[in-house]
């Protein structure tokens, strides 16, 4: 029981149906008077509605997955040109990631209003992609000062995107059980996250307009992301970062495809994690529980359907090998990684 656990300082509001009012309150609390609002073109209308009562300096919608470095630099330039004093990101991980990229060099505070289950809003982890390589780092400046979870904002998210996004959140929890700084507190958070998400995601798929189900999904997302932020990035996320940075694969779907394969590799070598996950799924084993959940949700199952070639999948193994965490419970040499990525490509 000797360990060091670090808890991130952040205000977290679960405020279904009150995002606009809650955002105004948090902006006042953080003394943000001229925010830069960041959202994708698709999410810009919602962002305008949520911030209608604020003196918005600029709404910036030049947002891309994996935060390419040139996109980040353009956003930083816009922030400087409009003399903003804070950032408000509305949307999924791409919008949050871009806000973090701006905060990383400017120190501007972030208020996050998630509309997916990406979970980036609850971490101090940033990511930038340059020449096909996605780099990540940790910096307290990029942790949003406040997060507003309003389940009503996710009702319009299509079922397929809801479930793949939720499986991305689930991957945060699973990875936290064997990541470099895994500890007993992270394990408790991760286990409860898996239990919540395993129940919430099928309910969201069955009844997409269910606010309680979507609120439970946000609850699981927050717990999983908090555990992940503390424990660090495990093998699953290292693989997904390589695939996303090199081949620009869709972020959430890539996580959904890769997760069962990393779990199958690691669970036999991590008996405590295996026991926790099996109990959280209510299944005889962790892999059986995940398979049952996937059968209910029917997410993407192969890298092939995401547009990756088999040669690219095998090629990625060498890049993953250089970043395999020492804490990974199973041996992961080049042959193992090539086998894993071939399996993820084929869905075997």
CATH number for position 124? 3.40.50.1970
Domain CATH number, residue 187 = 1.20.1090.10
> Is residue 267 domain-shared with residue 330, that is, in the same domain?
yes
283 and 338 belong to one structural domain: yes
The residue out of 92, 125, 154 marking a domain boundary is: 154
pLDDT above 90 for 131? no
Instruction: Name beta bridge partners: 59.
Output: 37
| Beta-bridge mates of residue 87 | 36, 110
Q: Which domain holds residue 28?
A: 11-154
2-11, 155-164, 191-200: segment of lowest average pLDDT: 2-11
Residue 149 is assigned to a structural domain of this protein: yes
Q: Is 6 part of a structural domain of the chain?
A: no
Cβ-in-10-Å burial (0-12, 13-18, 19+) of 244 comes to buried
138 and 166 fall within a common domain: no
Residues 309 and 224 in one domain: yes
Note whether residue 1 is domain-resident.
no
Cα Rg, the chain, nearest whole Å: 19
State the total domains in the chain. Answer: 2
Q: Estimate the crossing angle of helix 93-106 against helix 251-266, to 10 degrees.
A: 90
Measuring CA to CA, which residue among 190, 188, 162 is closest to residue 175?
190
Instruction: Point out the domain boundary residue: 154, 178, 193.
Output: 154
Domain match, 299 and 201 both: yes
- Residue 167's region, left for phi above 0, alpha for psi from -120 to 50, else beta, is alpha
Contact indicator for 117, 169 with CB cutoff of 8 Å: yes
* Same domain as 338, residue 189: yes
- pLDDT band per the 50, 70, 90 thresholds, residue 92: very high
Summarised one tens digit per residue, pLDDT across range 60-85 is 999 998 899 999 999 999 999 999 99
> What distance in Å separates the CA atoms of residue 51 and residue 121, rounded to the nearest whole number?
18
Per residue in 268-297, pLDDT (tens digit) is 999 999 999 999 999 999 999 999 999 999
pLDDT over 80 at 1, yes or no? no
Do residue 124 and residue 185 come from a single domain? no
Residue 2 lies in a domain: no
Same domain for 23 and 114, yes or no, is yes
What is the Cα–Cα distance from 194 to 214, expressed in whole angstroms? 15
């Amino acid at each position: 029981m000797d360990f060091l656990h670090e808890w991130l300082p952040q205000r977290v509001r679960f405020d279904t149906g009150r995002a606009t009012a809650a955002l105004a309150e948090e902006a006042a609390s953080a003394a943000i008077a001229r925010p830069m609002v960041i959202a994708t073109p698709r999410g810009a209308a919602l962002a305008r509605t949520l911030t209608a009562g604020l003196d918005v300096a600029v709404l910036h919608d030049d947002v891309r997955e994996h935060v390419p470095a040139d996109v980040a630099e353009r956003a930083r330039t816009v922030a400087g040109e409009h003399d903003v004093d804070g950032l408000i990101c509305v949307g999924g991980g791409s919008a949050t990631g871009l806000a973090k990229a701006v905060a990383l060099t400017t120190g501007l505070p972030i208020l996050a209003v998630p509309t997916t289950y990406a979970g980036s809003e609850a971490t101090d982890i940033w990511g930038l992609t340059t020449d096909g390589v996605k780099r990540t780092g940790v910096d307290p400046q990029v942790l949003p000062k406040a997060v507003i979870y309003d389940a009503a904002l996710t009702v319009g998210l299509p079922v397929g995107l809801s479930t793949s996004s939720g499986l991305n959140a689930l991957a945060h929890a699973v990875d936290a059980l064997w990541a470099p700084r895994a500890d007993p507190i992270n394990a408790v958070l991760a286990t409860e996250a898996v239990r919540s998400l395993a129940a919430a995601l099928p309910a969201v798929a069955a009844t997409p307009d269910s606010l309680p189900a979507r609120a439970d999904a946000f609850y699981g997302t927050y717990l999983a992301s908090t555990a992940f932020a503390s424990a660090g990035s495990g093998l699953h996320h290292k693989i997904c970062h390589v695939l996303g940075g090199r081949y620009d694969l869709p972020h959430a779907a890539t996580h959904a495809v890769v997760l069962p394969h990393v779990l199958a590799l690691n669970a036999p070598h991590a008996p405590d994690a295996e026991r926790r996950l099996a109990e959280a799924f209510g299944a005889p084993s962790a892999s059986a529980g995940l398979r049952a959940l996937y059968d209910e949700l029917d997410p993407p199952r192969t890298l092939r359907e995401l547009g990756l070639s088999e040669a690219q999948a095998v090629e990625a193994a060498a890049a993953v090998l250089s970043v395999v965490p020492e804490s990974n419970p199973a041996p992961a040499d080049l042959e193992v990684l090539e086998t894993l990525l071939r399996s993820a490509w084929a869905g075997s």
